[in-house]
Chain A
Amino acid sequence: MHIHAYEKLWLAASILLILLLIGSVTYGAVGPGVAMVADSEQPVDAQALDEDERFSEPRVEQVGENEYAAYIVAYQFGFEPSPIVVPENSTVTFYVTSRDVIHGFEVVGTNANTMVVPGEVSDLTVEVEEPQEYGLICNEYCGAGHHVMEGKVHVVSQAEFEERNGGGDGA
């Protein structure tokens, strides 16, 4: 089969491009450590979240030095807790599940973005910096009221976090 010299060159350049793209994603995973939402969390019973230790009371709690866990339930058409309040300059892991249909969880203007599937828990770890209010939206169609499904993520000072969290949950 005859392949033109230019075509061979083009083919080589194409394969190089493909390898570079795969390489860049691999670097993103290994270097800056961008982990994918995956199967690390065990499935939950979406119809019995009331009895679930983490999701019966959606909340933010401290789980380590400067590390916080946010347990969030998405539903038609909102998020609990609302707003989600986290302290500045900390590492926050969102654990998000749904009690009805498939939803999305997107902190607008950031790369904190995941699908929310009933029966599964999405975990997403982010670094938050100075105090700021972020919009939180559902970005997967979830029913006729989809467009009103929004929440807030408030990054607040350490003092305000303790005050707003009522001192009860902070461990």
Chain B
Amino acid sequence: MSEAIEAEQSFVDKFPEEARIVRAALLSSFLALVLGAIFGIIQTLHRTDVARIIPSTDYYTVLTAHGVFLAISFTTFFLVGLFTWALTRSLDRPLIDIRITWTWYAIMAVGMTMTGVSILAGFSSAIDMSADVLFTFYAPLQAHPLFYAGLAVFIVGSWIAGADWFRTFLAWKREHPDERIPLQTFMVLTTMAMWYIASSAVAASVLIFLLPWSLGFIDQVNPTLTRTLFWFFGHPVVYFWLMPAYLLWYTVLPKIAGGRLFSDPLARVVFVLFLLLSTPVGIHHQYLDPGIAEGFKFISMTNTMFLLLPSLLTAFTVVASVEYGARQRGGTGLLGWLTDLPWRKPEFTGMMLAGLMFAAGGFSGMVNAGMNINYMIHNTIWIPGHFHLTVGTAVALTFMAATYWIWPQISNKPIYSRSIGLVQVVVWFIGMALMSNAMHAQGMMGVPRRTAEPEYAGFDYPVMFGGYEELNIQIAIGGTLLFVSTVLFIGNLVLTMGNPKVSGLAESLPPALSGPDDAPRVLDNLRLWVGIALTLVVLAYALPLAAIINRGGLLGPGVGTYPAWLTPALDALASAVTPVLDAVGDAAASLVEVVR
């Protein structure tokens, strides 16, 4: 036994400092999950009129907290923990300087605390602070400056995290000049490159417009501009949530299934495609916005549809890898191999159910992406129905399932109860199936999202797929099951943390069936891909942004530019950029003509 231990050290044995930071990040993530789940259950029962324990005006504080804690805090903290683990593990070397690592963790924690406090203060009328602006914070709705400042601090923290990983990678590169980038590191770096591009827009929106405006330095902002900058970030952020789940599906799930990844090169292709296509699509959230030309919307839609490609490829590769695992375990037959998979393992079943729901979410996403079909479902509860399948299950359930696998390796503590874990992931799946399905159905009836009381005085909803009330009950039951599942998850984890440390929990990850040597070298040329990604972003956004500023002014109509000294600089910039824009504009216009 002792020989085996010496032969295989767990992650925490090898990298105790890094394991500490991974645990800290994951625990921060789960704290956000708990808060988000509490606000989730309050909101579900309120909306469906099962139990209204808060006044409806406070509903929007609850909704803001639910969105920000889950979509920003839960996801990003899990990501930074997982990426720290994946990068350190796959490079097999410690981070450059653990003090820098703790610094970015602290910055992110401080930023999220600032934002969280500004939101939660909205519940108390004694404190003159609120941020009931929801996750999207569309101006002219205004939050307390602390809300915007916290977001900016949080994003800066994530940028330093990325720099930490890039520097560690470069140090590894000097030590291993001729080696291919390990797959997990490749995934971390491409995701972070995408994150830098995407988050720059929201950081600009917050620092240049929203924060000075909330502090009273400027009188107003251009609502279409800040909204467009939000969605410049708001779509790629969904891939920022999803990429850690993809990393797990590609590199961990095949191993749990008893096999190995089918193809390393295709995994790299998929991550490159996400880097290229995630950002130039944000305008598809603005199909029904006035003030944005139809041509820009069409270009955004085309890019969006091609963004389906990496996910469709992933579906193939992941299922093929799992099937390979099953056949290694003795599975046979066309579908008979499905019975030879480790369904009793919560990490396996959780990830598989998450993947299955992602397929359903992908199909409802195709509907959302269709420009003119979007009229039917825009801002209806169909949309939250969709993203509770994607981020709410594909991502969240994968993270929880993966925790059952990864936690023992970063703590040397076995999971308290793997049976409870199995129940937990299945309950999540059932709860989400009920809730999301009913949300999609209500959306088809025209029931709006983001409202405390979706029943109106003046009309009744049409009856389809069951009546409005009946669907409400499904939503309430589903939401309750999701809350129960979260409680089981957290309880199990807390009890796990009380377990004594043991040895022999190490798990290794086998290389892919078709290894990196098969992959063209150009795939590892990150500079090239970032260059192309930036070009695509400029092509997709330069003209719409120029048109929006041209129409509504930098700060909305009727107001001078701020600050005054910036005006000449901006004018110079505008005159320098205009010829380029015109050229691109002509190209885009002719493209639209061809398509028409």
| Residues of chain A at the chain B interface (Cβ within 8 Å) | 1-4, 6-7, 10-11, 14-15, 17-18, 21-22, 24-26, 28-30, 34-39, 41, 43-48, 100-102, 104, 106, 108-123, 133-135, 137-148, 150-152
Complex contacts, A17 vs chain B, CB 8 Å: 308, 312
Chain B positions 44 through 83: 1 when the CB is less than 8 Å from some CB of chain A, otherwise 0: 0000000000001101100100000000000000000000
Query: Which chain B residue has the least Cβ–Cβ distance from A22?
Result: B305
Instruction: Known A-B contacts: A14-B309, A104-B379. Give 8 more (CB < 8 A).
Output: A38-B297, A101-B223, A109-B445, A109-B446, A115-B288, A146-B60, A146-B450, A150-B457
Q: A25-B373, A139-B448 are in contact. Are A1 and B290 (CB under 8 A)?
A: no
Are A3 and B266 closer than 8 Å at their CB atoms?
A: yes
Residues 456-508 (chain B) with a chain A CB within 8 angstroms: 456-459, 461-462
Residue B99, interface by CB 8 Å: no
Complex contacts, B446 vs chain A, CB 8 Å: 106, 108-110, 137
Residue B227, interface by CB 8 Å: yes
Are A102 and B312 closer than 8 Å at their CB atoms?
A: no
Residue B38, interface by CB 8 Å: no
Complex contacts, B589 vs chain A, CB 8 Å: none
CB distance from A91 to the nearest CB of B (A): 17
Are B316 and A7 closer than 8 Å at their CB atoms?
A: yes
Residue B449, interface by CB 8 Å: yes
Residue B564, interface by CB 8 Å: no
Bound: A46/B140 CA distance, A: 12
Are B313 and A147 closer than 8 Å at their CB atoms?
A: no
7 A-B residue contacts at CB 8 Å?
A2-B518, A14-B312, A25-B372, A26-B595, A144-B57, A146-B60, A152-B458
Q: Which size bracket describes the interface of B in this complex?
A: 35 or more
Query: Which chain B residue has the least Cβ–Cβ distance from A108?
Result: B446
Chain B positions 303 through 345: 1 when the CB is less than 8 Å from some CB of chain A, otherwise 0: 0011011001100110010000000000000000000000000
Are B595 and A101 closer than 8 Å at their CB atoms?
A: no
Complex contacts, A101 vs chain B, CB 8 Å: 138, 140-141, 223
Complex contacts, B520 vs chain A, CB 8 Å: 1
Bound: A48/B63 CA distance, A: 33
Query: Which chain B residue has the least Cβ–Cβ distance from A20?
Result: B305
The interface centre, meaning the residue of A25, A30, A112 with most chain B CB atoms within 10 A of its CB, is A25
| Residues of chain B at the chain A interface (Cβ within 8 Å) | 56-57, 59-60, 63, 132, 134, 138, 140-141, 222-224, 227, 262-263, 265-266, 286-294, 297, 301-302, 305-306, 308-309, 312-313, 316-317, 320, 366, 369-373, 375-376, 378-380, 445-446, 448-454, 456-459, 461-462, 514, 518-520, 547, 551-552, 556-558, 595-596
Query: Which chain B residue has the least Cβ–Cβ distance from A116?
Result: B290
Complex contacts, A28 vs chain B, CB 8 Å: 370-373
Bound: A18/B273 CA distance, A: 15
Complex contacts, A30 vs chain B, CB 8 Å: 596
Q: A38-B297, A117-B224, A117-B289 are in contact. Are A135 and B595 (CB under 8 A)?
A: no
Q: Which of A119, A135, A150 sits near B557, CB closer than 8 Å? A: A119
Are A119 and B556 closer than 8 Å at their CB atoms?
A: yes
Complex contacts, A138 vs chain B, CB 8 Å: 448
Q: Which of A15, A24, A112, A137 sits near B448, CB closer than 8 Å? A: A137
CB distance from B126 to the nearest CB of A (A): 17
Are A120 and B518 closer than 8 Å at their CB atoms?
A: no
Complex contacts, A144 vs chain B, CB 8 Å: 57, 60, 132
CB distance from A93 to the nearest CB of B (A): 13
Complex contacts, A152 vs chain B, CB 8 Å: 458-459
Are B134 and A141 closer than 8 Å at their CB atoms?
A: yes
Complex contacts, A117 vs chain B, CB 8 Å: 223-224, 227, 289-291
Complex contacts, B286 vs chain A, CB 8 Å: 115
Are B313 and A113 closer than 8 Å at their CB atoms?
A: no
Complex contacts, B376 vs chain A, CB 8 Å: 111, 113
Q: Which of A24, A36, A123, A140 sits near B287, CB closer than 8 Å? A: A36
Are A38 and B290 closer than 8 Å at their CB atoms?
A: yes
Query: Which chain A residue has the least Cβ–Cβ distance from B140?
Result: A101
Bound: A102/B448 CA distance, A: 15
Query: Which chain A residue has the least Cβ–Cβ distance from B444?
Result: A109
CB distance from A100 to the nearest CB of B (A): 7
Are B459 and A133 closer than 8 Å at their CB atoms?
A: yes
Complex contacts, A39 vs chain B, CB 8 Å: 290-294, 547, 551
Are A38 and B552 closer than 8 Å at their CB atoms?
A: no
CB distance from A88 to the nearest CB of B (A): 18
Complex contacts, B291 vs chain A, CB 8 Å: 39, 43, 117, 119-120
Are A137 and B449 closer than 8 Å at their CB atoms?
A: no
Complex contacts, A2 vs chain B, CB 8 Å: 263, 265, 514, 518
Complex contacts, B372 vs chain A, CB 8 Å: 25, 28-29, 34, 36
Are B449 and A37 closer than 8 Å at their CB atoms?
A: no
Q: A2-B514, A115-B289, A150-B457 are in contact. Are A139 and B380 (CB under 8 A)?
A: yes
User: What are the 4 closest A-B residue pairs judged by CB atoms, nearest first?
Assistant: A135-B459, A139-B379, A139-B448, A34-B372
Query: Which chain A residue has the least Cβ–Cβ distance from B319?
Result: A10
Are B288 and A119 closer than 8 Å at their CB atoms?
A: no
Bound: A34/B378 CA distance, A: 15
Complex contacts, B514 vs chain A, CB 8 Å: 2
Are B57 and A145 closer than 8 Å at their CB atoms?
A: yes
